[in-house]
């Protein structure tokens, strides 16, 4: 597991209680444990709790636990209930949650008249396609934004505690209002999910011969369509207003392009289509890169036989050449008895890698930035 730099939280906090030991709860637990924090786990499912404890994400709760910080990691539809219960049970603790929607739980808590001085909603922008404690990983927060929704009442020390949590886990704290947060995730997460799902849904009944022509483009476009329906229905229902607003805009854009293509030789039709693609160019270029990283690597492709021994020899050779592999991807060609190993390296070592491997008899299929 990742050995994090000893964090601030271990110094300021006696113990941290995590309610809900699924993917996010167990991942936070794993990371905090590495960090020297006493982590108390709770889950309505004894099996899930046991798994997370066995996994090293924390210990089961005991009489007299007095956490300084409670992190609610339950599904969105029970977040408000859980936050209210924890605030009442641990009146001296700061309580946060990690739900992907921030306004609806806050409204619900206000409707109930809960004293929210000790509550700060937050949302780490991290996750995996696979859920549950079994998929937990201490490093999923590294370099990811962690949204913190303070309000006017929030005491400075409480805010600092949540910021320490985010920083200790390697995340980047970002302050936003709940409204800003919900509009933002509708745009960059919830609407893309709906669109990818609906696009992929069209393949459910399509002829197999048509799908045989699918390439990497459509696979990428629809990858997140593999997400779990249960969680997503809760998220979409809880953030319905901003999602609907964006879906309506998108439906209008779709209709405009479809109308233009109904008569592609009409004046302005091709311009409408070109503008859509061009605006897409502009938009996609504005998205931040992987992990917020912008470092550039050089990539080259080596042809390898479809055998693990070959890869061992390849990495052995790269080690002898003192070339560090920054990224690696193996592509298979069914029918062909070879794979394409796409290797990314520091630009300074590219020439050495390509020349050295060629000299050792490797076939280099191409090098590109």
Q: Give dist(CA 57, CA 137) in Å, integer.
A: 10
Q: Does 180 bind a second copy (CB under 8 A)?
A: yes
Choices 65-73, 80-88, 108-116, 196-204; region in contact with a second copy by CB under 8 A: 196-204
Asked if residue 211 binds a second copy (CB under 8 A), the reply is yes
Identify which of residues 93 and 243 has a Cβ nearer to a second copy in the complex: 243
* Cβ closest to a second copy, residue 65 vs residue 269: 269
Length of the chain: 369
Q: How near is the Cβ of 357 to a second copy at its closest, in Å?
A: 12
For 326, phi and psi rounded to 5 degrees? Answer: -85, -35
Residue 243: CB minimum distance to a second copy, A: 6
Choose which of 8, 68, 108, 221 interacts with a second copy (CB under 8 A).
221
Minimum CB distance to a second copy, residue 198 (Å): 5
Number of amino acids touching a second copy (CB under 8 A): 147
Question: Is residue 170 involved in binding a second copy (CB under 8 A)?
Answer: yes
The residue (of 159 and 174) whose beta carbon lies closer to a second copy is 174
**Maximum Cα interatomic distance, the chain, rounded to a whole number of Å:** 76
The answer to whether 237 contacts a second copy (rule: CB under 8 A) is: yes
What is the full DSSP assignment across 210-228?
Answer: HHTT--HHHHHHTGGGGS-
Window 46-85: residues binding a second copy (CB under 8 A)? none
Long-range CB pairs of 333-339 (<8 Å, 24+ gap) are 337/305, 337/306, 338/303, 338/304, 338/305, 338/306, 339/303, 339/304, 339/305, 339/306
Instruction: List the x/- string, 304-333, binding to a second copy by CB under 8 A.
Output: --xxxx-xxxxxxxxx---xxxxxxxxxxx
**Separation CA 20–CA 9 (nearest Å):** 20
In the region spanning residues 97 to 136, those forming contacts with a second copy, defined by CB under 8 A, are 125-127, 130, 134-135
283 binds a second copy (CB under 8 A): yes
Which residues ranging from 134 to 153 are in contact with a second copy (CB under 8 A)? 134-135, 137-139, 142-145, 147
Q: Which one of 203, 296, 358, 359 is in contact with a second copy (CB under 8 A)?
A: 203
Return the H-helix or E-strand segment holding 301.
strand 298-305
**What is the rounded distance in angstroms from the CA atom of residue 249 to the CA atom of residue 75?**
29
Name which position in 66, 261, 296, 359 contacts a second copy (CB under 8 A): 261
Calpha distance 163→153 (Å, rounded): 16
Which of residues 65 and 310 has its CB atom nearest to a second copy in the complex? 310
- Judged by CB under 8 A, the stretch of 39-47, 83-91, 110-118, 253-261 that binds a second copy is 253-261
Among 15-23, 59-67, 112-120, 173-181, the segment contacting a second copy (CB under 8 A): 173-181
- Which position among 54, 113, 267, 277 is part of the footprint of a second copy (CB under 8 A)? 277
């Amino acid at each position: 597991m990742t050995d994090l730099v000893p964090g601030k939280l271990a110094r300021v906090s006696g113990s941290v209680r995590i309610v809900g030991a699924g993917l996010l709860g167990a991942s936070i637990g794993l990371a905090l444990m590495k960090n020297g924090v006493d982590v108390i786990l709770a889950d309505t499912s004894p099996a899930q709790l046991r798994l997370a404890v066995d996994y090293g994400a924390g210990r089961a709760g005991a009489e007299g636990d007095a956490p300084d910080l409670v992190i609610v990691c339950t599904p969105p539809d029970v977040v408000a209930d859980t936050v209210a219960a924890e605030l009442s049970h641990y009146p001296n603790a700061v309580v946060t949650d990690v739900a992907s929607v921030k306004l609806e739980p806050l409204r619900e808590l206000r409707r109930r008249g809960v004293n929210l001085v000790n509550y700060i909603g937050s949302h780490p922008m991290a996750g995996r396609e696979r859920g549950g404690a079994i998929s937990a990983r201490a490093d999923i927060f590294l370099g990811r934004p962690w949204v913190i929704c303070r309000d006017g009442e929030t005491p400075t020390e409480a805010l600092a505690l949540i910021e320490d949590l985010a920083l200790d886990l390697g995340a980047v704290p970002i302050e936003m209002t709940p409204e800003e947060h919900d509009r933002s995730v509708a745009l960059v997460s919830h609407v893309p999910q709906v669109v990818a799902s609906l696009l992929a849904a069209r393949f459910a009944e399509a002829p197999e011969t048509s799908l045989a022509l699918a390439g990497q483009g459509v696979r990428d476009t629809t990858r997140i369509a593999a997400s779990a329906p249960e969680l997503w229905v809760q998220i979409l229902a809880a953030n319905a207003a901003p999602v609907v607003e964006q879906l309506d805009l998108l439906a209008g854009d779709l209709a405009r392009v479809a109308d233009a293509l109904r008569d592609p030789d009409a004046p302005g039709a091709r311009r409408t289509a070109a503008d859509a693609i061009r605006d897409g160019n502009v938009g996609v270029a504005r998205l931040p890169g992987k992990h917020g990283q912008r470092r550039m690597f050089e990539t080259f492709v080596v042809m390898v036989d479809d055998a693990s021994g070959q890869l061992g020899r390849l990495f052995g050779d790269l080690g002898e050449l003192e070339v560090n592999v920054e990224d690696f991807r193996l592509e298979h060609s069914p029918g062909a008895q070879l794979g394409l190993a796409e290797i990314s390296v520091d630009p300074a070592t590219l020439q050495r890698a390509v020349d050295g491997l060629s000299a050792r008899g490797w076939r280099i299929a191409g090098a590109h930035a």
